[in-house]
Amino acid sequence: MAEFSYKAADRKGAMTQGNISAANKEMAIRSLRQQGLTPVSVQEGSVKIKADSDNVRLSREQVLNITSELAVLMRAGLPIDRGLKVLIDMSQEDEPKIVLEELLKTVKSGKGLSTGLELYERDFGGFYVNMVRSGEASGDLANVLQHLAEYLENAKEVRSSVVSALIYPAILMGVAVISIAVMLGFVVPQFESLFADMGDALPAMTAGVIAAGDFITGWWWLLLIIIAAVVWYVRHWISTDEGEYRWHGFLLKMPVLGLVLFKYEMANFSRTVGTLLGSGVSLLQALTIGINTVGNRHVKESLQDLPPAVKQGGRISASMESNGNFTPKVVQIVRVGEESGSLDAMMLELARVYDGDVKVGVKRALTFIEPILILFMGGAIALIIIAILMGIISVNDLV
- State whether 116 and 224 are in the same domain: no
- State whether 293 and 337 are in the same domain: yes
Name the residue among 263, 275, 56 with its Cα closest to residue 153.
275
- State whether 202 and 279 are in the same domain: yes
Between CA 267 and CA 288 the distance in angstroms is: 15
**Region for 13 from its dihedrals, namely left if φ exceeds 0, alpha if ψ lies in -120 to 50, beta otherwise:** left
Residues sharing a CB contact under 8 Å with residue 381, sequence separation 6 or more, in sequence order: 179, 180, 183
Residue after which a domain boundary falls, among 78, 108, 139? 139
- State whether 223 and 323 are in the same domain: yes
Give the domain extent around 290: 149-399
Residue 349 falls inside a structural domain: yes
- State whether 100 and 206 are in the same domain: no
Residue 144 falls inside a structural domain: no
- The pLDDT assigned to 14 comes to 60
- The pLDDT assigned to 53 comes to 46
Residue 261 falls inside a structural domain: yes
- The pLDDT assigned to 246 comes to 92
Residue 164 falls inside a structural domain: yes
Name the residue among 18, 25, 37 with its Cα closest to residue 1.
25
Kindly report the pTM of this predicted structure: 0.65
DSSP letter at 304 equals: T
- State whether 130 and 155 are in the same domain: no
Confirm if 17 and 7 have CB atoms less than 8 A apart: yes
Residue after which a domain boundary falls, among 139, 169, 190? 139
pLDDT in tens, the chain (399 residues): 677 777 777 665 566 667 777 778 888 888 878 777 777 778 777 655 444 445 677 888 888 899 899 989 888 888 888 888 888 888 878 788 888 888 888 888 888 888 888 888 888 887 788 788 878 877 778 888 888 888 888 778 877 877 777 788 888 888 888 888 888 888 888 877 777 666 666 788 888 888 888 888 888 888 889 999 999 999 899 888 889 899 999 988 888 788 888 888 888 888 888 888 887 778 888 888 888 878 888 988 888 888 888 888 888 888 888 887 788 888 888 899 888 888 888 988 888 888 888 888 888 877 788 888 888 888 888 888 888 888 888 776 655
- State whether 208 and 310 are in the same domain: yes
Residue after which a domain boundary falls, among 83, 106, 139? 139
Q: Residue 113 sits in a domain of what CATH number? A: 1.20.81.30
- The pLDDT assigned to 230 comes to 94
- State whether 93 and 194 are in the same domain: no
Residue 55 falls inside a structural domain: no
Name the residue among 34, 46, 41, 48 with its Cα closest to residue 15.
41
Between CA 134 and CA 279 the distance in angstroms is: 7
- State whether 87 and 170 are in the same domain: no
- State whether 217 and 302 are in the same domain: yes
- The pLDDT assigned to 15 comes to 61
Residue 96 falls inside a structural domain: yes
- The pLDDT assigned to 187 comes to 82
- State whether 23 and 161 are in the same domain: no
The residue type of 391 is G
Residue 51 falls inside a structural domain: no
Total count of domains within the chain:
3
> HSE on the CB side for 126, CA within 13 Å?
12
- DSSP labels, 97-144: HHHHHHHHHHHHTT--HHHHHGGGHHHHHHHHHHHHHHHHHHT-HHHH
Residue 358 falls inside a structural domain: yes
- State whether 155 and 33 are in the same domain: no
